[in-house]
Structure 1
């Protein structure tokens, strides 16, 4: 069932805000933002970041409460991010680069939580 337009717009606004916060947090941790909301036929990657020879493809999830974040990410979603990341890697990678799939979880009143290397194929 599709969300009504006002709810969808609010969710979109919240998602973009979460991506801005996640990008800010990652930059503070020494990552360089390579791309935002990168689309491929396989799906979309919220953030692509680089630190040294590592490219991380980051799924950003925000929820109203910390407890809700446990259900925010699943194997189906991660598999789409991984498929999109694989397509993007060939355009963005430099010789010798490695890649991984990360997740950033955000909820009010807590610092962002960065889960590194969450996808190992499936």
Structure 2
């Protein structure tokens, strides 16, 4: 059987990412977070989810892989730096969020498992 073309693989990955982000957003909402943004684009890059809980503004990176360990390993230093720059640009553009504390979380998504939420996964 022939391998799917690059375009088909890209579309499948995009759709899998959307499903993982939706699952992560629902998981966070069940834990009391309010989702204020999905796939938020800034000049520094895209932020998967932005949530608020109390006085905390949370920038969430969602990683989906075949297993939780693989998802955890997929978040490197360069990606964390990009997310921190994107978060700074977002807050600078929206003064209403500047009074809140900021935190960076990760949600790891794997098939047939509940998402794993890691609050305060790294410091800015």
Fold match (TM-score > 0.5): yes
In the alignment, the residues of structure 2 paired with residue 76 and residue 95 of structure 1 have an alpha-carbon distance, to the nearest angstrom, of 24
Q: Which runs of 5+ in 2 are unaligned?
A: none
In the alignment, the residues of structure 2 paired with residue 28 and residue 92 of structure 1 have an alpha-carbon distance, to the nearest angstrom, of 27
Query: Which residues of 2 match residues 1-122 of structure 1 at below 5 A?
Result: 4-90=6-92, 91=94, 93-94=96-97, 96-121=99-124
1:69 shift after superposition: 1.8
1:70 shift after superposition: 3.3
CA contact (8 A) 2:91 2:97 kept: no
CA contact (8 A) 1:53 1:98 kept: yes
Could you give the per-residue CA deviations for residues 48-97 of structure 1, whole angstroms, max 9, x where no partner exists?
00011100000001001233223211111111111101111231644631
CA contact (8 A) 1:55 1:93 kept: no
Change (3 A) 1:95 1:63: closer
* Higher CA-based Rg: 2
Q: Which runs of 5+ in 1 are unaligned?
A: none
For residue 56 of structure 1, give the secondary structure of its aligned residue in structure 2.
strand
1:119 shift after superposition: 2.4
Task: Name the count of aligned residue pairs.
Answer: 119
TM-score, length of structure 2 as denominator length: 0.89
